[in-house]
Amino acid sequence: MEENEHDLLVRSMTWEADGVLSVVLARPDGAPLPPWEPGAHLELDLGKWIRQYSLCGTPADTATYRIGILYQPDGRGGSAYVHEELRPGRVVRVRGPRNRFPLVDAPRYLFLAGGIGITPLLPMMARASADGVPWRLVYGGRSRTSMAFLRELVPYGDAVTVVPEDGGGRPDLDALLGTPEPDTAVYCCGPEGLLAAVEERCAAWPDGSLHVERFAAAPRDPSLDGDDTAFQVECARSGLTVDVAADESVVDALDRSGISVPTACGEGICGTCETPVLAGVPDHRDELLTDAEREAGRTMMPCVSRCLSGRLVLDL
């Protein structure tokens, strides 16, 4: 097994809302699990699927991990497998924890959740409360019965606003975000419509104020990317050079040549395929890297990103 890869036992599965199961994982021998911080996720190897799920338990609990999984019958298969086939007592291969959505220090926080997007925010709110940092959560969903973990939010009282659509409401983003607050960090997770609306309203906020986590890639403006031309990838460790056609991804070209790169989303949003770049200029098309990371050019997501320099040298 790779470093930070574990075979974990499914200890329990609990209904948290309509269509939402929480899954608690532990080592079969009861040994402590690797530590994690709010915003982290696990990568589950489900055989035909590799999927990422946010940790929504308590970092202080070193005996178990908890994740929340929304049933999506028309999705890509991972959630359906968990809901229909995974059961307590089964063993699942897990990688991580990894964290691309860390909680930064701030004088105050505004948390915005849509549906299952509540999961990464739960540990953040608990951490902020423990640290005595003021915060507010606005949590939207289709209905109260579909909104997971509501009972866990009750002790927070007036810090939490629940806005179910079937109750005639939606979060008032203009009121929440219309006036920039330089001392507030905004954390948002949920469906693309919510994220896009929040990003639009936070455009006037100070740089670095907004932090988002996506479940699917945002629509891209093709004019922002380079041309889809052919290029070469040199694999430094294997010594192999691969031609990448204009109509194929780096991952597909490498796979065609016998070099397997772990992938999951295929959209540049999960980080599973992140690969160090030793030379060349990547054409970044992912949703994960910061502007500084893109400028540095030391890493890329080969499931979607390409090349601006005709040749890339990757640490493969």
Reading the block at residue 87, the tokens are 């059961």
Q: How far apart are CA 289 and CA 149, in angstroms?
A: 30
Gap between the Cα atoms of 300 and 286, Å rounded: 8
Q: Please, what is the average pLDDT of the chain?
A: 93
**Res. 266: pLDDT tops 90:** no
Q: Per-residue pLDDT for 31 more than 60? A: yes
Domain end (from 68, 98, 128): 98
Nearest to 109 by CA among 70, 138, 66: 138
Q: How far is CA 19 from CA 44, 115, 141, 161, in A?
A: 19, 11, 13, 22
Residue 2 pLDDT greater than 80, yes or no: no
pLDDT at 224: 60
Res 218: pLDDT: 66
Where is the domain boundary, 196, 213, 230?
A: 213
CATH of the domain at 123: 3.40.50.80
**In the predicted model, what is the mean pLDDT of residues 148-154?**
98
For the ranges 79-93, 115-129, 207-221, 240-254, the lowest mean pLDDT is seen at: 207-221
Enumerate residues 6+ apart whose C-beta is below 8 A from 213: 39, 54, 100, 101, 117, 120, 188, 189
Burial of residue 215 (number of CB atoms within 10 Å: 0-12, 13-18, 19+): buried
Q: What is the mean pLDDT of residues 82-104?
A: 96
The pLDDT score that the predictor gives to residue 47 is 86
At residue 116, does pLDDT exceed 90?
yes
Interior/surface letters 113-131, b for 16+ CB within 10 angstroms, e for the rest:
bbbbbbbbbbbbbbbbeee
Reported residue count of the chain is 316
- pLDDT above 90 covers a percentage of the chain that reads 83
Which helix (H) or strand (E) segment holds residue 124: the answer is helix 121-131
Backbone angles phi, psi at 48, to 5 degrees: -75, -15
**What CATH number is attached to the domain comprising 81?**
2.40.30.10
Is there a domain that residue 103 lies in? no
Looking at the fold, whether 78 and 59 belong to one and the same domain comes out as yes
| The pLDDT value given to residue 147 | 98
Number of domains the chain contains: 3
Q: What is the pLDDT of residue 4?
A: 83
Amino acid 220 reads R
Using 50, 70 and 90 to split pLDDT, how confident is the model at 291? Answer: confident
Q: Is the pLDDT of residue 278 over 80?
A: yes
| Percent of the chain scoring above 70 in pLDDT | 96
Whether the per-residue pLDDT at 254 is higher than 60: the answer is yes
| DSSP H/E element including 96 | strand 91-98
Task: In whole angstroms, give the CA distance from residue 4 to residue 7.
Answer: 10
Q: Are 101 and 211 in contact (CB under 8 A)?
A: yes
Instruction: Please report whether residue 194 resides in a domain.
Output: yes
Q: Are residues 232 and 209 part of one domain?
A: no
- The confidence score (pLDDT) of residue 73 equals 84
Instruction: Give pLDDT tens digits for 169-227.
Output: 789 999 999 999 999 999 999 999 999 999 999 999 999 999 999 876 666 666 666 67
Give residue 151's domain range: 108-213
